[in-house]
Amino acid sequence: MTFEDEDAARGWLNNERRLIQLDIWTPPAERTPESKTCSVQTFGEFADQWLSERKTRRGDPLKARTRADYRRYLDRHLLPVLGHVPMTALAESKVRSWYDGMDPGTPTERAHAYQLLRAICTTATEVKVLAGNPCRIPGAGRATRAKKIRPAGITELQAIADNMPERLRLAVLLGAWCALRYGEIAELRRRDVDVTRGIITVSRGVTWPSRRSEVDGKLRSEPVVSTPKSTAGIRDVHVPPHILDDVKAHLKAHTQPGRDGMLFASSTGRHIHPRAFGWKFHQARVKAGRPDLRFHDLRHTGAVLAAQTGATLAELMARLGHSTPGAAMRYQHAAADRDKAIAQALSRMAEGLNALEQPLGGSTE
């Protein structure tokens, strides 16, 4: 036998050792085509098994949205090219060829697909299906944001909110001033809002993962309510006082009755799907002169505004519900123009101290 490279040879040898350990090894020359097919697992087969058994670092099942995203990356990007490849032949050269064939115009999608492939191959290496991880492309798992976000100004935020239907106006204000995600806003209930202390408790979120119907095979999405991905996502967010009256008015006029009443419900009393909300938001942002602004960009705006107040990295992480500092650091960088204001404040402080230190009544000499 010959092999494409050393990795492929080592992978074949590793598979032979696995057969020996399972006590099902036979000399390769004596194997029938059927037994060869059965003994060599394809990447598609391994990936499907990996996804069905995958758990979080804490040992919990994957969130429905995460599992659906992984399934989408597999079906759309990985399996069409690599699904038929035997695991023993999944070499670095094949990974590079697959990566080079992906559309560079979608850097985020490309990076996420590569991250998934690397995670699957890491598991394959750990269970000795692969001799080594073939995903060795430097920087392939990182993506430079293709779209540079321009935060909305305070006047623009107000204009967008004013152009929304009255029952949805508060959603825009919470997305910006409290930096909440759409899924967190859509699942808010009366019991989550404490107007006395001015606090919103975020402990759940709703997502709409796509699932293939067993009846007609079509992709459908149903709302799934769950806890945030990390414990950091469960948090209390203080509402800026200037929008607290808007919160009170919304609770009185537009919120379902009872402690479990939703703040934002559809005409049928269910969660408002992002597409239905997005159409209203699209109209409002166009009227406000910001057709480029997505709803999630409101969260970016709120984070930048919070950073501009001088919030520390830990404070930003707590307010935004981030478990790692990487994402929160972006907003501190975005607020780097505060350095001039900080320098000016230092000068005012120094000038004030100098004035205090001047002796009363002039010189003592």
Residue 301, classed as helix, strand or coil, is helix
* Catalytic residue set: 181, 296, 299, 322, 331
β-strands 210-212, 219-221 pairing = antiparallel
Residue pointed to by tokens 């095979």:
217
What is the length of the chain?
Answer: 365
Radius of gyration of the chain (CA): 27
264 in Cβ contact with 245 (< 8 Å): no
Rounded CA-CA distance 108/361 in Å is 68
239 in Cβ contact with 227 (< 8 Å): no
232 in Cβ contact with 321 (< 8 Å): yes
Per DSSP, 310 falls in state T
Q: Dump the DSSP string for 222-286.
A: --EEE--SSGGGSEEEEPPGGGHHHHHHHHHHTSPSSTT-BSSB-TTSSBPPHHHHHHHHHHHHH
Rounded CA-CA distance 199/178 in Å is 10
Give just the sign of the alpha carbon dihedral 216, 221, 225, 228.
positive
